[in-house]
Every structure is written in structure tokens, then in C-alpha cells.
Amino acid sequence: MTGADFTPNEMMTIAASRALGNDDVCFVGIGAPSAACNIARLTHAPDITLIYESGTIGTAPDVLPLSIGDGELCDTALTTVPVPEMFRYWLQGGRITIGFLGAAQIDRFGNINTTVVGEYEHPRVRLPGGGGAPEIASSSQEVYVTLAQSRRAMVEKIDFFTSFGHGEGGDHRQRLGIDTRGPTLLITDLAIWRPDPQTKEFTVVSLHPGVRREMVQETCGWTVRFAERVEETPPPTEQELSILRDLKARTEAAHKGR
């Protein structure tokens, strides 16, 4: 049974959550990735292991965290380990199945910028920076990315390489000695994208309900490639929408005034 009305952001979050499974060990980024991962935990993947950069393992927050340092993460985690152990043993040790990241800018090969917009020395906008994202992008077995489409976000050439995706495409990761799969899924508020097996250029494989191909191209800074067969993303169910909206309402109430 599908929900009646839903926003593009709700569709994006729910579509992203569906990509996660019960057996995944997921390194979670703050913001949209955190929402998607926790919706997966609250719906079809109750045994998913969520890990945040602050060292919290198996966390199950009742509200979405404001940052990796939010006490909600530590309070609900199975255990909390030192950050060096988190990165050296868990991430660089190959124990993370999915690194789930957001992006300020992304290009057609899944390279991500979260550092600056414009020249590095004199940027138009200085962004939060990489944090652990560069390591997550290279050491997770594979990477999922979620963001709202716009020409500012989806660009022909990113202004700064914060997190390496598929570089110039093709076997660029392998030539650099990076043996993980890199970005394998991009979920936006309009579509689901996957990299071409050979070129590694992101290609639209599914359009969300009501979205036309022209809408995807209008909000993308490069010439969009569409798969030979483009599916329609199943709309959110009433249960998925209810759980997402309840989570957002609890989060807003908990953080009000903070």
C-alpha cells in the first residue's frame, strides 16, 4: 500500500534506505545519509550495524543526531571505541560494507567536494570539510551517496577533490591501488543512478514517480546518460512515510531551541 502524498526529499530518503540490508555494517554520514540509514533500521533492516565517525558502534538513535558528537549516538550504541581504532581496525580493516555520504558537489564519476566552492585560497563558500569522508570513500567496500539535485551540486568539474570516487572514470581507482568498489549508488530527489560498468559514469536507472527525464537534465550540470531500460522507483508506502515523519518530528522536538 503506497502513501498518498510525499515530497521529493521523502522519496529520496526512503529510496536510499531501501538500498541497505540487515547484514550491512554502515559508516554513516550526518544529514541525509543518517536519515536514510535510520529509516532502514526502523523498517526492513532492524539488525543493520550503524557506525558513526565518533566511534559509536551499533548505535540506534531515537532522534537524528546534530553531529557525530551528539550524545544520542553514544547513549544508544552497543559500544564506543576510540576514533583511531574506528578508522584503523574497522574502516581500514575492511569491515565496513557501506560508506554512506552526502555531498556539496559531485561529478559524473562520483568524486565529491565538501571543502570549498571556488578557488581554495579565495573560496566563494567554505564548506565543513572532509572529516573522515576521504577515508570512508577509499576504504569502505562500497559507497552510497545521496543529495538533492541542482546544477550547483551536480557539476561538470568539482572545485576540490575531498573524497575520491572513480576519478577520471574507467579503472582509475585500480591504477591508484585502491581496491574497493567506490561509489556504486547515487540517490537523488529525482532519480536513482548507478555507474556504468566500464566507464564508471553515473547513469540513471530509475526515475522517481512523476519525474520526467527533462527534469533530471535541467538540474544536472553534465549531459545525463540514461540506462537502456529506466525503471520507476516504487513510491513510499504508508508505513515508510509514517516512520520517517515520526522520526523527523521527534528530532525537531528534541533539538528545538538548541
Q: Which amino acids are annotated catalytic?
A: 53
Instruction: Write the DSSP string, 7-64.
Output: -HHHHHHHHHHHT--TT-EEEEPTTHHHHHHHHHHHTT-TT-EEE-TTSEES---SS-
The residue written with cell numbers 570512508 in the block is: 136
Per-residue CA distances from 100 to 130, 158, 160, 201, 258 (Å): 14, 19, 20, 19, 26
CA distance 49 to 193: 25
The CB density around residue 197, as the number of other CB atoms within 10 Å, is 7
Length of the chain: 258
Which DSSP state fits 87?
A: I
Per-residue CA distances from 56 to 26, 117, 210, 253 (Å): 12, 31, 39, 23
> 223: exposed, middle or buried (C-beta count within 10 Å: 0-12, 13-18, 19+)?
exposed
The CB density around residue 194, as the number of other CB atoms within 10 Å, is 15
